[in-house]
Amino acid sequence: MTASRWREIDELFQLVAEWPRESRASFLSGRCAQDPELRREVESLLAADDGAEAFVACKFAGLDVLADIADGTIPAGGRAGEYRVVRLLGSGGMGSVYLAERDDGEFHQQVAIKFVRGGEDRDWAKSRFRIEREILARLNHPNIARLLGGGTTANGTPYLVMEHVEGLAMQVWLSRNQPSIREILEVFAALCQAVAYAHRNLIVHRDIKPGNVLIQANGVPKLLDFGISKPIVPGDDSTVTLQRAMTPAYASPEQVRGELVSTATDVYSLGAILYEALAGRPPFELAGATPAEAERAICERDPLPLGGVPSDLAKVVLKAMHRAPERRYSSAENLAADLRRFLDGHPVNAQGDSYWYRLRKFIARRRGPAALSAALVILIIIFAANLLVTASRQRQAFGRMRDMAKSTLLDVPERIAGRSAGDIRLELGENYDKFAEPLARQLQKEVGVIREIALGYEKLGLVLGIADARAMGDSEVAIGYFQKAIRLVEPLRGSWFDRIMNREALEGSRAIEARSHCNIGRLLEMEGASPAAEYEKCLAIYETLVDPNPKPGAHNLKEFVRAHLLVGSVAATAEQARSHFETVVRISVNQQAHKAVRNAPLLWEADGLWRLWRLDSDRGKLEAARRAITEARVRGASFDVDSRLLELRIVEDWGSAGETHAVREALRRDLPGHPLVRRTLASGY
């Protein structure tokens, strides 16, 4: 047999081996119609692959064990170092996994040991094993199976010793437990966090599927098998799926086409297995399909309709599975955040494709002048009609707002005469309610009007709560006003026309929602309650408004940074807190590199570094924080209350008595009645 003939056979075998057995015959019939000998050779390799009996001699701690790695038949009782093999757990493309027990007398422990398979691709498998070992050594997350150790047998067979996870494969768990939608989404939110953690460590899994997820008895998922995962190296294009190592039913279009994969590839796979968990079937009907037919289905068609689930949840799944990577969630964390929004009863960020998006895709598919002209004519007609209707509605809306405000507030001077400042604030709030609530009900689809009403509620909350320098406000009432602002703007997503013409108002509404969550959290924290949920909601919204790598002076950037600081300050673990604080420092340093940016990033950097110092006790970070805040003072940066309190904390931690006294006295002089300042000075910190 010639080398070129062998390459032809091997390439066809590698292609067909990835597909279900029932699909292979029909594909080979068409592909090998003129070459029956080629078909016989490939079928011979497939048969050998399915039931190989290539025995490999392995030595474990001086004991020779005859092992069929491809079949996974290491006898019970065989040893691997200090571990005794108990039984086979499963086999995959690169190796077999065994349950083993440590019985060297030190302590008892059950583990999973993975051995590389034999065969002609042994060198490739050994290379992948080394990569998997390096990857697992970098990952330490409660939802990822941990690496405990590893080594190489006397005959050169690599193995990994991993945490043994007692649980059910996802499909088995779904079948046996019949979980509710809420239970499924709780599992997936945790799974998304595990994938997001891997991505933060620059790892793309590339083979997320139900078989690689075990659900433990307590409902906690564990992600397994990083065997074909890939470290992300800037400028490295080796994440192109040259061998197309994947599971087609859950593979993204770019994987199926053999193109470059990214973190968006894992987001797609998460969406695909979530689809199957909710619908009870895969997103595409691939049974009996040839590889070419399956590729067309995945790359060119929409998934089967996802019936029986709420429409908002269906939008989340379909956004995760969008054929275009840039149209998916930008991260697994954002997917988890939208699942959490759905669970909490809030509107999700995922939306179906807009008319504008579909029109652009229509033009891209039909580039002829006629199609372009027709599309432009249609767009102009729709645009003009919407403009006329919207202008008329907004004139009426603002006219009604003006009339109701005048009639409601006309007698305010008489009603507030002789009353305390606190009573006046409450009176103004009650009067605002009288005209704002009915107006909002009548004009609930007018984006600009609703935004202005919500902004009024936000300002009332600030007056009655956080911004009340004399602490005469009422936290409970203030929280109520912030919640009213949130309820008003939450449903606002706008028509496609609004998203073009009123984009600023829509984004402003989302910012009001985020700020209100943040302010509720701060009030809860002042009252001694947990603010974590409110801070996380605030950050999740800003993540939809601000790019992960923001441009210089990006809109909402200051609030985005502050949300990271707040979430980090109440994070459940030091690792989660560190991630948020390091994000703040990274953004701050990047912003300072641009001359057009003002001095605020110096204050952000100081805040992030100070919090890292408090987390790690690394005095170098405290010194860097002190330099940053001193430079901000020299450059004339604008110090708000939070920045001035940060300055106090830094100089106190630094241990400079003179500086500490000067900063404390300045706070007493400039902000004598501010509740945050008063509380900080009274506590000695």
Q: Which of 631, 619, 675, 626 is nearest to 647 (CA)?
A: 626
- Predicted local confidence at residue 569, as pLDDT: 92
SS3 237: coil
Q: Which residue in the block uniquely carries the two structure tokens 């107006």?
A: 439
Q: What is the pLDDT of residues 99-144, one digit of tens each?
A: 888 877 677 788 888 876 654 445 555 555 666 666 666 677 889 8
Spatial separation of the C-alpha atoms in residues 144 and 132, rounded to whole Å = 13
pTM of the model as a whole: 0.45
Q: CA dihedral defined by 671, 676, 682, 684, rounded to 10 degrees? A: -100
Q: Which residue in the block uniquely carries the two structure tokens 């970070």?
A: 621
Question: pLDDT-derived band of residue 305, with 50, 70 and 90 as boundaries?
Answer: confident
Lowest mean pLDDT across 270-284, 493-507, 524-538, 564-578: 493-507
- Predicted local confidence at residue 277, as pLDDT: 93
Question: pLDDT-derived band of residue 240, with 50, 70 and 90 as boundaries?
Answer: very low
Q: Which of 76, 84, 37, 38 is nearest to 60 (CA)?
A: 84
Spatial separation of the C-alpha atoms in residues 32 and 168, rounded to whole Å = 41
Q: Which of 271, 337, 331 is nearest to 548 (CA)?
A: 331
Q: What is the pLDDT of residues 608-638, one digit of tens each?
A: 999 999 998 999 999 999 999 988 888 777 8
Q: Which of 161-165, 237-241, 403-407, 436-440 has the highest mean pLDDT?
A: 161-165
More confident residue, 457 or 516: 516
Q: Which of 116-130, 167-181, 385-399 has the highest mean pLDDT?
A: 167-181
Q: Report whether pLDDT(25) > 90.
A: no
Q: What is the mean pLDDT of the chain?
A: 75
SS3 64: strand
Question: pLDDT-derived band of residue 246, with 50, 70 and 90 as boundaries?
Answer: low
Structure tokens given for 512: 């009001």
CA angle 301–303–305, rounded 5-degree value = 125
Q: Report whether pLDDT(69) > 50.
A: no
* Residue 151: φ, ψ to 5°: 175, -165
Q: Give the relative orientation of helices 600-616 and 641-654 as an angle to the nearest 10 degrees.
A: 40
SS3 86: strand
Question: pLDDT-derived band of residue 274, with 50, 70 and 90 as boundaries?
Answer: very high
More confident residue, 669 or 71: 669
CA angle 197–221–174, rounded 5-degree value = 140
Q: Which of 291, 287, 278, 292 is nearest to 321 (CA)?
A: 278
Q: Report whether pLDDT(552) > 60.
A: yes
Average pLDDT over residues 523-528: 87
Distant-in-sequence, close-in-space partners of 498: CB < 8 Å, separation ≥ 6: 447, 505, 506
Question: Which runs of consecutive H residues, i.e. helices, occur in 178-322?
Answer: 181-200, 253-256, 263-279, 291-300, 311-320
- Predicted local confidence at residue 243, as pLDDT: 42
Spatial separation of the C-alpha atoms in residues 402 and 256, rounded to whole Å = 59
10 is catalytic: no
Domain limits, CATH 1.10.510.10, in the chain: 170-352
Contact present, 545 and 554 (Cβ < 8 Å)? no
Q: Per the residue annotation, which of 64, 68, 123, 207 is the catalytic one?
A: 207
CATH class of 56-163: alpha beta
Query: Each residue of 321-355: b (16+ CB within 10 Å) or e?
Result: bbbebeebbbbbbbbbbbbbbbeeebbbbbbeeee
Which of 595-598's residues contact partners 24+ apart within 8 Å by CB, and which partners?
596/552, 596/553, 597/552, 597/553, 598/553, 598/637
Q: Report whether pLDDT(376) > 60.
A: no
Q: Which residue in the block uniquely carries the two structure tokens 């910190």?
A: 685
Structure tokens given for 508: 């402003």
CATH code at 170-352: 1.10.510.10
* Residue 109: φ, ψ to 5°: -155, 135
- Predicted local confidence at residue 288, as pLDDT: 75
Which of 395-403's residues contact partners 24+ apart within 8 Å by CB, and which partners?
397/443, 397/446, 397/448, 397/449, 398/449, 400/439, 400/442, 400/443, 401/435, 401/439, 401/449, 401/452
Q: Which of 288-302, 385-399, 543-557 has the highest mean pLDDT?
A: 288-302
- Cα 219 to the center of its chain, rounded Å: 20
- Predicted local confidence at residue 291, as pLDDT: 80
Other residues' Cβ atoms within 10 Å of the Cβ of residue 401: 18
Spatial separation of the C-alpha atoms in residues 676 and 470, rounded to whole Å = 11
SS3 222: strand
Structure tokens given for 228: 């074909």
Spatial separation of the C-alpha atoms in residues 376 and 197, rounded to whole Å = 45
Q: What is the pLDDT of residues 485-522, one digit of tens each?
A: 998 888 776 444 444 445 666 788 889 999 999 999 98
Spatial separation of the C-alpha atoms in residues 137 and 129, rounded to whole Å = 12
